Chain A
Amino acid sequence: MFGFFNKDKLPKPLKTILAPKKGFTERTRVLFLSAYKHKFGETIPARKFVFATKVLAVILVAFGITGGISVYADRQNVGPKSPLYPLKLYGEVLQLAISKKEVQPDLHIEFAERRLAEVEILKNESVKANEAQIARTMKDFGEDIKASLAAAGDRDYSEERLPKFCRSLDELISTSSPNVKEVLLAQPKITEKFHNQCDKFLSADGGADGSASSSKGLDGRGNGDGVRIKSASSSPNFNDKEKTNKSDDSQPKLDSGFRGNTEANIINNLMKNNNHKEQKIESKNKD
């Protein structure tokens, strides 16, 4: 019965006796609070603001930290194996979100270029575990190409700029390393859209002068001209030779009838590309 005293708590019956009636406590509560308001005035519950401020502060800090790290990852151009890589991609998405529509296709190309560079790094490592990573990166690359074409096909993007855009995209694909080209050959769908939209310009360039970048091959094979990747659904305007080579096969074809490029030419292109990248890095370092 008096075990409660060991705990220094009142027994229930006594607690009930000593408890006030509910009506009384509620009545007194109203009186007390009205007297309180009379003295202190109507107040806004401070706790709400404190909580809201804290939540806002946490969100801002989280954004700040994430943004800072993503900028760092972007500057360092971290590889796909880095734990900061998702933040780099996140930073790219943000960059695209805040950039003007006119700039977006170029940004997409820049990011596609990054993806190719990453694939090259992964390929060079020749580790089996990299295959999944390469597939993912190539998927991102494909999405970048697709998005860049979609953005370029937008009405805001002037027709004058579209051929230029196509040429730079072609340059990017054609000057990529043999490793990357191998991956591209294995996944023809990635470049399919590019051909659909850009072939008319590239073939026109090719017709005008033989030194157009579109003539550069993808894998350096073929009869002295380099090889161009082409899917079955490629535009019929691609070029005359393409028409002759067209078949129902959905596998990528090696279009070897282009202007007189050789493997040496491709290597030159690659070297040019590398020099260009080095120059970019040097200028960045100078900045």
Chain B
Amino acid sequence: MRIKKAAGWGICNNTRLKSYLFMEFSFEIGKLNRLACRMKKGDSRAAAALYDELAPKVFGFCFSRIRLKHVAEDLTQEIFVKLLEKIDTFDDMKGNFPVWFWRFVRNHLIDYYREKKIQPFSDFSDDVIESASLAHPQRAIDSRLETDRLRAFIGSLDDDEQNLFELRYVAELSYKQIAEIVSKSEGSLRVAASRLKQKIRKNFIS
């Protein structure tokens, strides 16, 4: 059994110190940064924890963009394999892990579109919706109606709005982190998000 240097006392101290210095008290960011640091040093438990944290979000991100389940699964696997290759390049002193990771995911999807030239479908596959609502028929009908409206709405979003939707609601990033990824100001993103919310309300309430 090969024993790597144990990620012990002092590991990720940079991350910890930085989070104290810059008053980054967001538990989630600190947690992901520490997990990434430990994963980089060879701690398999940290890698597993990071996967558990990010895999559902990555799949959701890919699925909402591609809208093909099997392709989204393939892409999720590819992203995590690529993460292993790229993790050495992550520098916790330069930026926080969520920003680094989701930038990397977006770039991977852009590369995928460039290579395959596949246009996203404008719909979700029906089997997914049915499997989600088999247990309660009444709720299934409601859910179906709601989802129909919602998927039609997502299909009608422009690129910026879709990006915002995916990063804010699927990846659950903060406005600050989204601003770093899409290179826009935090204020403009907030304005765009409120417009997006209004659009959603108008679409669904009327």
Say whether A associates with B.
Answer: yes
- Cβ of A38 to closest chain B Cβ, rounded Å: 9
A28-B11 contact in complex given A19-B56, A43-B42, C-beta closer than 8 Å: no
Stretch at the interface among A9-17, A134-142, A166-174: A9-17
Q: Quote the shortest CB–CB distance from A7 to chain B (angstroms).
A: 10
Q: Are B38 and A46 neighbours in the complex by a CB distance under 8 Å?
A: yes
Contact of A50 among B1, B8, B56, B59 (CB under 8 A): B8
Chain B residue numbers with a CB within 8 Å of A36 are 39, 44, 47, 84
**In the complex the two chains form, what is the Cα distance from A118 to B170 in whole Å?**
73
A28/B146 in contact, CB under 8 A: no
B147 at the interface (CB under 8 A from A): yes
- A25 contacts across to B, CB distance below 8 A: 55-56, 59
- By a CB distance below 8 angstroms, the chain B residues around A5 are 197, 200-201
Q: Is A35 an interface residue (CB 8 A)?
A: yes
Indicate if B118 sits at the interface (CB-CB under 8 A): no
| A31-65 to B contact mask, C-beta < 8 Å, 1/0 | 11101110111111111011001000000000000
**B21 on the A face (CB < 8 A):** no
- Please, how many angstroms separate the alpha-carbon atoms of A14 and B84 in the complex? 30
Contact B76–A20 (Cβ < 8 Å) = yes
Does A29 interact with chain B (Cβ within 8 Å)?
Answer: yes
CA distance A36 to B87 in the complex (A): 11
Q: Is B63 an interface residue (CB 8 A)?
A: yes
From 171 to 206 in chain B, residues with beta carbon under 8 angstroms from any chain A beta carbon are: 172, 193, 197, 200-201, 204-205
**Contact in complex: B146, A13 (CB < 8 Å):** yes
The complex places the Cα of A18 from the Cα of B147 at a distance, in Å, of 11
Q: Is the CB of B44 within 8 A of A33?
A: yes
Q: Are B6 and A49 in contact (CB under 8 A)?
A: yes
A28 and B2 within 8 A (CB): no
Q: Contacts A13-B147, A41-B42 known; A46 to B8 CB distance under 8 Å?
A: yes
Q: Are A33 and B204 in contact (CB under 8 A)?
A: no
* Cβ contacts A to B, 21 pairs, < 8 Å: A1-B146, A1-B204, A8-B168, A10-B169, A13-B133, A16-B132, A20-B63, A24-B73, A28-B77, A29-B51, A29-B55, A32-B80, A32-B84, A36-B47, A43-B4, A43-B43, A44-B3, A45-B43, A45-B44, A46-B6, A46-B41
Cα A25 to Cα B55 with chains together (Å): 7
Q: How far is the CA of A37 from the CA of B43 in the complex (A)?
A: 9
Q: Which residues on the B side are within 8 Å of A33 (C-beta)?
A: 44, 47-48, 51
Select which of B55, B77, B169, B200 is within 8 A of A9 by beta carbon.
B169
In angstroms, Cα B5 to Cα A41, docked, is: 11
| A20/B48 in contact, CB under 8 A | no
- Which residues in A have their C-beta under 8 angstroms from that of B48? 29, 33
The SS class assigned to the B binding surface is helix
The contact size tier of chain B is 35 or more
Top 10 nearest A-B pairs by Cβ distance? A18-B60, A46-B7, A41-B2, A20-B59, A46-B6, A16-B132, A40-B42, A13-B143, A43-B4, A32-B80
Complex-state Cα separation, A10 to B56, whole angstroms: 13
What does the 1/0 interface line of B63-85 toward A look like (CB < 8 Å)? 11000000011001100110010
Q: For residue B47, which residue of chain A has the nearest CB?
A: A36
Chain A residues contacting B64 (CB-CB under 8 Å) are 18
Query: In the complex the two chains form, is A8's CB within 8 Å of B169's CB?
Result: yes
Contact of B51 among A9, A32, A44, A53 (CB under 8 A): A32
A91–B2 Cα gap in the complex (Å)?
46
User: Which of chain A's residues have a CB closer than 8 A to the CB of B159?
Assistant: none
How far is A42 from B3 in the complex, measured between Cα atoms in Å? Answer: 6
Contact of B6 among A17, A20, A44 (CB under 8 A): A44
**Interface contact B1-A42, CB-CB below 8 Å:** yes
Docked pose: A269 CA to B200 CA in angstroms: 101
* In the complex, residue of chain A having the shortest beta-carbon distance to the beta carbon of B88: A39
Say whether, besides A17-B124, A29-B52, A39 and B204 are in contact (CB < 8 Å): no
Q: Which of A28, A39, A41, A42 has the most CB of B within 10 A?
A: A28
Q: For residue A10, which residue of chain B has the nearest CB? A: B169
Determine whether the beta carbon of B43 is less than 8 Å from that of A47: yes
> For residue B1, which residues in chain A have a CB less than 8 angstroms away from its CB?
42
Q: Which of A33, A46, A53 has the most CB of B within 10 A?
A: A46
CB 8 Å contact bits of A207-238 with B (1 = contact, 0 = none):
00000000000000000000000000000000
Confirm or deny: B110 has a beta carbon within 8 angstroms of a beta carbon on chain A.
Answer: no
Check: B17 CB closer than 8 A to any chain A CB.
no
Chain A nearest CB from B157 CB (Å) reads 14
